[in-house]
Amino acid sequence: MALTLFICLLFTICNTEANNIESITQSDSITVKFEPSSVQLELHGTQNVSILFSRPLTQSTDIIFTYASSDKLITFTQSLEIVRPLPNITVENGTISSHITLDAVNAGSVTIGINESSSEFGDISRTFVKVTVVHSSAVTIINIVIGWMYFVAWSISFYPQIIENFRRKSVEGLNFDFVAYNITGHFSYGVFNVCLFWAASVQTEYFKDHPRGVIPVQPNDVFFSIHATLMCIITVIQCFVLESGGQRVSIICRVLLSIMWLFLLISLFIAVGHAITWLMFLYFFSYVKLAITVIKYIPQAWMNFRRKSTVGWSIGNVLLDFTGGMLSLLQMFLIAYNTDDWSSIMGDPTKFGLGLFSVLFDVLFLIQHYILYRHAQHGYIVINVDKAET
C-alpha cells in the first residue's frame, strides 16, 4: 500500500504545474457539456438531453453532431443506427443552453459529440453523451444485482481459507506458491486500480488516448483489490506462524516472481525518464496480474494430485470463487445480449478467457475434493478393509 500511495503522489506532483497551465489557458473559453452525460434508453424510447454553455454565446454558432463507437468516429451509413440521426442546429448569440431529443432505434451503444464553428469554445474533445440502448431495462437491473452478487462472493472467498488455517493451526495443504502468486497478483491489481481511480494525471493520459472513453475502474474495483491484498497479507502471516510441514516457496515460483518484479522496477525507471507514460507503466501492472491469473492455480492443483488429498485447501474458497466466476460470465453474456454487442465478449478474449480459465480450475478442485479424494484424510487415502478378509 505504501508503494501505491507513493506512486499516486508522484503522479500528482509531476503534473500539478501542467494542470495549472491548462486551467489558465482554458479559463477564458466557453465550456460545453451535455446534461446528463450518460443515458440509457429502452428500445424505441426517447429522452431529452440538454447542451449547457458556461456563459452566454456572443455570436451565432452552428453545431454539428458527431458519432463515435469505441473512440472511433463513425457515420450511420457505416454502422447500424442506435439512435435516430440528429439534425444540425444553430445556436443564437446570448444562448446559454439548448437541447436535443434522443430516439432509440436499435440496441447498442454510441457516443455523441459536437463539432462547431465558434472560436469561443474551449476543448470539446470531452464534450459528449454516451447513449446505451437496451432491449430490456429489467435485464439491466438483473445485471446490476448479478454484479453485486459476484462482488460479494469474490470478496468473502478469502475468509474460508483463513478460518480453515486458524481452526487447524496449520497451513499444511495450502500451497505456498499459490499464496505468493496470489498476493503479487492482487497487489499489482491494486496499484493499477488505485492509481487509475485517484491520480488525475493518469486519468488525463487515459483521456488523451480515449477522448470519449470513461475510466474503466469503479469504486468497488478499488475496494476489492485493497481488501484482497489485505486478506492475502493475513494468509502470508499465517504461513509464517502456523505449522507448515516444512513447506517453502519453490525455486520456479521465486524465479518467475523475481522476473516480474524486476520488469516492473525497470519500467518504473523508464517511466521516471519519460520514455513511457505513467499510464503505460500501470498497464504493466495489469499485465502481471493477467499472467499470474493464468499460472497461480497450477501449483495447488498439482499439490492436491501429489498428496491425493485436498485437506488444508478450503473448499469454501473454491465454491465462492466458482460462484463469482460463473456470475461474472453470465453477466457478460446478458450485457452482450441486451446491447446487441457480442464483440464485448469476442472482442475481448483475454477477459473472457481468464474468467473461463479460473472457473475451469475451480471445477477441477471440486472434482478433486468431492470425487477423486473424498476419502482422503491428512494427505492419505483411508481404505476400509473388511476384517473377515485376512
Over 90: is that where the pLDDT of 139 sits? yes
Find the mean pLDDT for residues 356-362: 93
Q: Is the pLDDT of residue 25 over 50?
A: no
16 pLDDT higher than 70:
no
Lowest mean pLDDT among 113-117, 291-295, 336-340: 113-117
| Burial environment of residue 78 by CB neighbours within 10 A (0 to 12, 13 to 18, 19 or more) | exposed
Select from 337, 335, 339 the least CA-distant residue to 351.
335
pLDDT tens-digit profile of 68-98? 876 666 666 555 689 998 988 888 888 889 9
41-50, 133-142, 208-217, 293-302: the lowest-pLDDT one: 208-217
Mean per-residue pLDDT of the chain: 85
- Cis status, amide bond into 160, omega within 30 of 0: no
Residue 302: is its pLDDT beyond 60? yes
What is the reported pLDDT for 57? 87
- Look at residues 66, 63, 72 and name the one whose alpha carbon lies nearest to residue 211: 72
Distance CA 102, CA 105 (A): 9
Q: List, for residues 320-332, the tens digit of each pLDDT value.
A: 999 999 999 998 8
Provide the CB-side half-sphere exposure for 138 (13 A, CA): 0
Beta partners for residue 232, in sequence order: none
User: What integer pLDDT is reported at residue 7 of this predicted model?
Assistant: 56
DSSP bridge pairs for 196: none
Query: Half-sphere exposure (CA, 13 Å, Cβ side) for 17?
Result: 2
> What pLDDT score does 4 carry?
54
Mean pLDDT of 164-177: 96
* The one-letter amino acid at 333: F
Q: Which pLDDT score, from 0 to 100, does residue 262 have?
A: 97
The mean pLDDT of 301-311, rounded to a whole number, is 95
Is residue 175's pLDDT more than 90?
yes
In b/e form, how buried is each residue of 180-200, taking b as 16+ CB within 10 angstroms? bbbbbbbbbbbbbbbbbbbbe
Q: Look up residue 213 and give its amino acid.
A: G
Residue 115: pLDDT band with limits 50, 70, 90: confident
Cell of 367: 472434482
pLDDT in the model for residue 363: 97
What per-residue confidence (pLDDT) applies to 13?
Answer: 43
Q: Which residue has the higher pLDDT, 268 or 29?
A: 268
Q: Is the pLDDT of residue 379 over 50?
A: no
> Half-sphere exposure of residue 68, counting CA atoms within 13 Å on the CB side?
20
Q: What would the grid cell of residue 288 be?
A: 502481471
pLDDT of residue 213: 72
Instruction: List domains and CATH numbers for the chain.
Output: 32-134 (2.60.40.10), 137-373 (no CATH)
∠ CA 377-172-384, nearest 5°, is: 10
